[in-house]
Structures are given as C-alpha cells and as structure tokens.
Structure 1
C-alpha cells in the first residue's frame, strides 16, 4: 500500500522538484543573488525533512572551531519559536523565544561566549551577529542548505545511513525538500547515525551511490553517535537507577537510535512517550506519562527535549519525575575528523 501511494504521488513530487530546480537554477546563473560576507559561513543541512543529526554535527563544528582558535557564532532559523525576526539569544530567552535547538546551543556554548542568533532571513541574522559581535571569525549555519540567499564557504550535507537521500523521493511522495541533484552543491557529504564498526566495504558502497550525485571533489564521510552517561535534569534529581526498567520521553524526529542505545545498556523501555519533532510539551503529556510510570524507573530524554521541558508551565507536572538527559556527541569513522578539519577555514591569525 505504501509503495502504491508513493507511485500515485510521484506526479506531485515532479512538480515540487521542478519548482525547486528552477529556483536553484536562478541562483546558479546569478539572476537571484547570494550574499557573501566578510567572514566564512559553514552550512550544516540536508535534503530530507526530519532529523539527520544536524544538532550534534553543529556542536562538533563549533567545538572544533573553538579548539582551533576561532571566534565562532551560530545562526539558526529558530523553528517553532514564538517570536519572529532576527534575534540574539540572551540568558533571558528560552526554547519558546528562540527555538529548542538554538536554546540548546546557547546553554552548551555560553561558557565559551559563542553568540547564538535566530532569523528566518539568514542574511539579516548574519548582519545582526556581525554588528553585535565584530570579533566573530566564522558563522555556523544550522539547517540552511536550501537557504541560498547567503553564500556558504563550506556546505555540509547530512544524510542518514538507513534513509539515504539517494533512495528517497521529493515531497509528497518522499521526504526530500529538493531533488537528489541538490547534493551537487555539497562540499562534504556525511552519512550519519552509522554503527561505529560499519565495515569498510559498506562505506565504499554507500560512497559509490553518493558520488552519483555529489561533485567529484566532495568529501564523503561517515559519523556515528557517542552517548554519554545520564545527567539529571535538575539538581534535585537523585542518581540514575541501574537497569533494567525505564521510561523514555522524546519529541525528536528519530528517537530509534537513542532507544537502541538504552536497550544495549541493559534498560528495558517499559513506556515510550514518543511525540513529534519540536513538540511543545504540555502538562497533560507529563501527567499521562506519570500515570504509566512506576517509582524506581528512570525517565530518559534528550538534551533537545530538555530545553522544552524547562518551561515554567511544566514545572508542577514534572515534580517528582526523575528525568535524565542522555548526552549525544558526533564521532567520525576512520579518519573522517582529520579530513573535515582540513576543510575548515583557518583562524585569521593563521592565514598567510
């Protein structure tokens, strides 16, 4: 039935893809302008709607740029926020005012004084960042692969191992925002959410498919997730209980890898409160979870979900529920990290 529906929707997909192709062509020939800036823009994006792992890859880039001596900033659209227009993140903000992912970046990188901004029109966001922080040497764009009004110095395209762009179709028959040919704009293609021990033969086969669409000079890399020990959501949360029984609370696009990891650690997920990506948690959601939860079970969640769970309106509903954040980091397979570092712009002091 699903395959039949895909075939029936293909004419609409061709129409959608055609409109996107015309738009890209207008940028390619210069009829629509891409604005360049005095500092390099590093774009992390995808062709597919839904989670491909952009947030941990943005975090990896920012941490690496800091290590190299850069003064990076982060710019996102701020999906799901209750505000509009360009906005610099401050300690007075929240997931509601700037979006869950930007708020996560702000919390993670504020000790390193990394500015975070949100803007639907990225060029306005870049201008805001540079005006407020002239010390910035590089800006990392979160999810701007189709936002061609700004000109990136490095385009990083992410695609999931289990849902690669080269097997997918354009909306509505599939989940692609534009045709597979969009991969040709990428300088780096990263296949994400791979097993850490993914065989070299499998990597070679995937790379061969990717190179049917990517430019010959594009890097093809592979990454996996590295999970950290559970962190209590609040200082009052007791130490995390040992396996087996546990609950899981998520509002992300692809919770499967996290659930697989927890089960590999010996936890038996008795209840999974699984909500759509960027879900705005309500007290009723947590009360329903409480009704299914049993004392002694840890409740695991993600750092992205934790930003929304910190909303003041949820604190009464959260009282007494032991929530633990499972940190996620990007780890590159083989020498992928070394290859990517070589593509990053050098800090101004190191330029010859």
Structure 2
C-alpha cells in the first residue's frame, strides 16, 4: 500500500483513554435509549466520518447531489463550521462564506437550484426545512458531517474512510484523529474508502476489506479522485480554464491549501510538475491580510516566467471574500475542482442503492418521531 500519513502521539494515550470512556458512555446512552434520536418521514442521508477532517465529505456530498437532483428536490444541511452567523440559515444566492461556512458556500455556488442550509442543531434544521412552505416538495435531505450527531436517526448513514489514514491503524483523540472508537463504524449502512490510488492493487482491496471486518448488512465501496479543469476564481479576468495536462513541466506551481489533508493533492500534482511550492494553512483557515501578503511574497519569489497558483474550491470560497487581493494574484490563481470516481465498477451498484432508498422512503404528509432503534 502507499505511504501512510498516520502519526500517533503515544504520550497522549492516557488522555485518549479518558476521551474514549466519555465517548463510549455517550454512545451507550443512545443505545440504551437514555438519550433519544429522532427519525423523520423524509429520506435523510448522513455523510460523515469517525476521524477529524480530510476524508472527502464535500466531493461525496456533491456526487450525491448530482445523482439525486435529477429526480428529487434535494436539500443539504450542514453545521456551517466557522461561520459568523448563528442558528438556522437558509442560503440565498448572495450568502457569503462568512455567513454559512466555506463548504456550504461552495455547494450553493455549484448547485444554486438546491436548498442549502446550516444549523448546529440538526434536528431543528431538519424540522425547519420540512416546515418551510417553499420546500414543501422536498424529497431528500443530505446531512453533511453528522455521523456523531446521534440526536438524528438517519435513514441511511455513509461513513467515509481515508485510504491514506486507515481507521484500523488510528487512535482516539488527542493521540490520534479518531472522534470515537472503531466500533462506531458499525452504525454505517455504507462504508466508502476514499482517496484510493487510481491503479489500486487487487491485494489492497482484499486487505482493507478484511481489516474493516464489516457486518453483512454493510456495503463497502472504494473511490478515487478525478480532477476537473483549473478554474479562475475571480470573475472579470480573461483567463480561461485549463486542464492539468496543459501545465508545462517547467511551470512553477504555488499550492495554497487550508484543508485537513493536503498531502494527497500534492502527490497528485507532482505528476504534472516537479516545481511545486506548498503554502499550507490549517483546515478551514480564516485568511488574513497578512496571509495574503505572504501569498504575494511567496508567489513573487517563485523563479521563472511561467508560474501559477492552485488552490482548492473550499479555500477559494474564503479567498473570494477579499476584493482587494493583488491583481497579479487574481490573474494567476485557479481552483481545482475535485470529483469522485468509483473503483471496481461499483458506481451503478452504489447509485441504485441510494436511489432505491430515497424512492422507498418518500416523504409523508407530516413529520413523525420515533425512538432510535439502535
């Protein structure tokens, strides 16, 4: 298998043990019915993970949107991490990343026809969406990053696992990046191993399948990334989209990221250029004026006449808030769209599984609640 990006802080194992006791107790309280989950009469699909960030939730959510919006009215409900607003917010065409968060903003910009909303309280968010007269024909709700939000009992749970950071090798916070014990995977209906190499070895499929040790009721899929055309993030320029294949070998790339796991993206871009300078910030980083100065200085210091800045769509959502960004930067910065590609010819089986669930669980006339069956 390829290089594993897992780093465990063994000195923090005692704290991880205490953290694990607390998380396990919380899960048991849901299992025993002391804490209760709500179920709804509208199809609810949860997309999440049991690790901290970086498993590809947004690309997989976008895949589901493209799949479902042809037949159903789709809504996405997210927490809206690091947004400046509070409570329930239904995105509009003029909503900003500060108001709804960078990932919901990205989704709304790409799919303006769907309902995108944010609410830390997912139960309140679902009920508000369903009570909204404008969304009376709502067909399905996608819960982004809500696997640990057990007050909602989704009709289908999709758990994402990073190929480069296998949960079987990880540890609980703070020693590792697991949000809950490995047994949490048992709540998933579907497990997707994401960010797989395009030419993944058959042996790797078998090893991962055996190590995950899923139950018969759980389905396992493998996905990789495919990249779209580099897209200018500032309107008004005459710069056109370009494919990665059009990058010249001697062209300098400044890779600007504020995501949880940029290493895979860096490795993928190395196929197109050997001159890559990473400028890395923390996940969901709020860019400042000083950061933009650093960006400008780093770009100016790149050698050669041919140079370009590549960033993610999530980072672009925050960068476009700066209308005073240097003109040179605006003309040379591109967002790299990421799409999901299923391996092992699994796409049709996955699509059918999702569509059949939504069709069989069409919304009734009113909300209903029942205790969590777990």
Give the TM-score normalised by structure 2.
0.87
State how far apart, in whole Å, the 1-side matches of 2:195 and 2:361 are: 33
| Partner SS, residue 344 of structure 1 | helix
Does 136-145 or 292-301 show the bigger shift?
A: 292-301
Aligned mates of 1:242, 1:265 — CA distance in 2: 6
Q: Summarize the Cα distance change of 1:343–1:4 in structure 2 as closer, same or farther, 3 Å threshold.
A: closer
Determine which structure has greater relative contact order: mean sequence separation of CA pairs < 8 Å that are 6+ residues apart, divided by chain length. 2
Q: Which residue of 1 aligns with 2:216?
A: 216
Distance, in Å, in 1 between the alignment partners of 2:95 and 2:80 is: 12
Number of aligned residues: 341
User: 1 CA distance for matches of 2:238 and 2:334?
Assistant: 8
Following superposition of structure 1 onto structure 2, how do residues 307-318 of structure 1 map, counting pairs within 5 Å?
307-311=317-321, 314-318=322-326
- Alignment-derived partner of residue 26 in structure 1: 29
- Between the aligned partners of 2:30 and 2:195, the Cα distance in structure 1 is 32
Evaluate the alpha carbon distance shift between residue 128 and residue 162 of structure 1 in structure 2; reply closer, same or farther with a 3 A threshold: same
SS state at 1:172 partner: coil
Partner of 1:75: 77
Matched, 1:300 2:315: no
Change (3 A) 1:156 1:310: same
Q: Return closer, same or farther for 1:172/1:193 CA change in 2, 3 Å cut-off.
A: same
- The match for 1:195 is 197
Which residue of 1 is the match for residue 366 of structure 2? none
Q: Which residue in 2 is equivalent to 1:119?
A: 119
Rate the CA distance shift 1:350–1:189 in 2: closer, same or farther, 3 A.
closer
Between the aligned partners of 2:172 and 2:360, the Cα distance in structure 1 is: 44
CA offset at residue 348 of structure 1?
4.7
Of 351, 358, 369 in structure 2, the residue corresponding to residue 341 of structure 1 is: 351
State the shift of 1:349 in Å: 9.2
Query: Are the equivalent residues in 2 in contact too, given 1:185–1:215 (CA < 8 A)?
Result: no
Is the CA contact (8 Å cut-off) linking 2:8 and 2:176 kept in structure 1?
no
Tell me which moved more, 172-181 or 11-20: 11-20
Tell me the CA shift for residue 104 of structure 1: 0.6
Deviations 1:168-201 (A, max 9, x none): 1111111101000101101111111001111222
Could you tell me whether the CA contact under 8 Å between 1:89 and 1:106 is conserved in 2?
yes
Deviation at 1:11, TM superposition (A): 2.1
Aligned partner of 1:11 in structure 2 is 14
Q: Deviations over 1:193-242 (max 9, x none)?
A: 0011112221111011111xx32221111100000121111231524574
Over the aligned positions, Cα root-mean-square deviation in angstroms equals 2.0
Of the three residues 15, 40, 63, the one matched with 1:37 is 40
Which residue is 2:225 aligned to?
225
- Structure 1 contact 287–317 (Cα < 8 Å) conserved: no
Q: Give the direction of change, closer, same or farther, for the CA distance of 1:308–1:152 in structure 2 (3 Å limit).
A: same
**Native 8 Å contact 1:190 1:221 kept in 2:** yes
- Contact persistence 2:43–2:361 (CA under 8 A): no
Is 1:147 matched with 2:154?
no
Query: How many angstroms does 1:335 deviate by?
Result: 2.6
CA distance in structure 1 between the aligned counterparts of 2:219 and 2:79, rounded to whole angstroms: 26
Q: For structure 1, which runs of at least 5 residues remain unmatched after alignment?
A: none
Give deviations 1:62-109, integer Å, cap 9, x for gaps: 111123x11111000000100111110112211101000000111111
State the distance in 1 between where 2:89 and 2:148 align. 21
State the secondary structure of the residue aligned to 1:34. Answer: coil
* Counterpart for residue 183 of structure 2: 181
